[in-house]
Amino acid sequence: MSNADVTAPEPISEAELVFEGALRPRSLDEFVGQTKVRGQLQLLLQAAAIQGRTADHILLAGPPGLGKTTLAMIVAHESNKPLRMSSGPAIQHAGDLAAVLSSLVPGEVLFIDEIHRMARSAEEMLYLAMEDFRIDIMVGKGAGATSVPLDLAPFTLVGATTRSGMLPNPLRDRFGFTAHLEFYDEPELEQVLFRAAHMLDFSIDRRGLAEIAGRCRGTPRIANRLLRRVRDYVLVHGGDADLAAVRAALALYDVDELGLDRLDRAVMEIMLTRFGGGPVGLNTLAVSVGEEAETIESVVEPFLVRIGLITRTPRGRVATPQAFEHFGIQHPQGSLLPGVL
């Protein structure tokens, strides 16, 4: 396995999904970080409980692996209601959505992952469903077609998206609350790791945990994955899970000190070498690394901006002096800075 796998923000195997399931926090109290969002959700759920109604629809926006699915599960758990899971790509026709909506039980939480990828016809059906708990079903074809209204059980929609900007306004406006999940800081990631290590019955020292926290791309999913690789390393090589063992395990998987993944590096290297640090337009960058512009914008760029390797300007993306320094590449207007790779 290469660095391309261990630091990928998406799940990399079925086994990992099972592992993630076991480590998922079940309540808002167990959920680490995102303090503001947690407080806002808590209030929204408590208010609904006091009034004995379903909670408002919730939109969770942010890069992969930051806890959107986990929060959807928590919303259902804290409201004591069942959870139905679906995803935008699975809803390619209005009929797909009608089938899900018409079978919901009262109060059920419907989670639609990647909601920005749902078919347009389904989106339009969802507007009415969210607002009035009703859909119109078309019966028959052509001139004789009629629409029959169908009442739905009240439900709470939790939508997740890595691209909130791609949602049409009428859909976005129907969510009572939008949470923007942020990358986690290192103390928060240490807490995520501490909890996971405890659940895995794996004893690792604090400095080792801190090292993983600094190299996991601000993402709990990656933090937990790296923890598992360190556990493997200690199992095979023996000794303590200390800073030296963590460094050796992460070196084996080519995880650098910023935790950049394959795509992060490809983007940075192209910006620095082919475009002299930019400015480069998003589409040019995407074509150059053979990725979709959507992935660059929603997955790669937010993290690179957050750690100060690129900035966004009206003329395009620009690499910062730190980026030149990190990759050991000479800045076009300066001397060679010492590389750290």
Residues 268, 272, 274, 276: is their CA dihedral positive or negative? positive
- Active-site residue among 81, 217, 221, 229? 221
- Which part of the chain contacts ligand ATP (CB under 6 A), choosing from 51-59, 60-68, 201-209, 254-262? 60-68
117 is catalytic: no
One residue of 7, 44, 59, 68 binding ligand ATP per CB under 6 A: 68
One DSSP character per residue, 117-147 reads: GS-HHHHHHHHHHHHHSEEEEEESSGGG-EE
- List residues bridging with 318 in a β-sheet: 311
**CA separation for the pair 297, 13 (Å, rounded):** 24
Report how far apart, in Å, the C-alpha atoms of 242 and of each of 219, 227, 235, 239, 248 are: 21, 12, 13, 9, 10
Active site residue 69: yes
Following CA atoms 156, 161, 165, 166 in sequence, which dihedral angle do they give, to the nearest 10 degrees? Answer: -90
Q: Is 67 in the site for ligand ATP (CB under 6 A)?
A: yes
| Site map (CB under 6 A) of ligand ATP, residues 244-273, x = contact | ------------------------------
54, 162, 219, 320: the active-site residue: 162
132 annotated binding-site participant: yes
Confirm whether 221 is a catalytic residue. Answer: yes
218 vs 278, which CB is nearer to ligand ATP?
218
Confirm whether residue 60 is marked as ligand binding: no
**Piece of 203-211, 217-225, 281-289, 331-339 that binds ligand ATP (CB under 6 A):** 217-225
Place of tokens 């103390």: 187
Query: Which among 66-74, 93-101, 241-249, 272-280 is the span making contact with ligand ATP, rule CB under 6 A?
Result: 66-74
Distance between CA atoms of residues 46 and 194, nearest Å: 29
When asked if residue 66 is in the footprint of ligand ATP (CB under 6 A), the reply is yes
Residues between 222 and 241 that touch ligand ATP (CB under 6 A): 224
State the Cα–Cα distance between residues 259 and 255, nearest whole angstrom.
5
Check the annotation: does 229 bind a ligand.
no
Binding mask 28-47 for ligand ATP (x = CB under 6 A): ---xxx--------------
Q: How far apart, in whole angstroms, are the C-alpha atoms of residue 268 and residue 54?
A: 46
- Is 26 a known ligand-binding residue? no
DSSP per-residue string spanning 270-301: IIIIISTT--B-HHHHHHHHTS-HHHIIIIIH
| 141 carries an active-site annotation | no
CB 56 within 8 A of CB 47: no
The binding site for ATP comprises 23-24, 65, 68-70, 131-133, 174, 184, 221
The binding site for DNA comprises 312, 317
**Catalytic amino acids?**
68-69, 113, 162, 221
Site of interaction with ligand ATP (CB under 6 A): 10, 20, 23-25, 31-33, 64-70, 113, 192, 220-221, 224
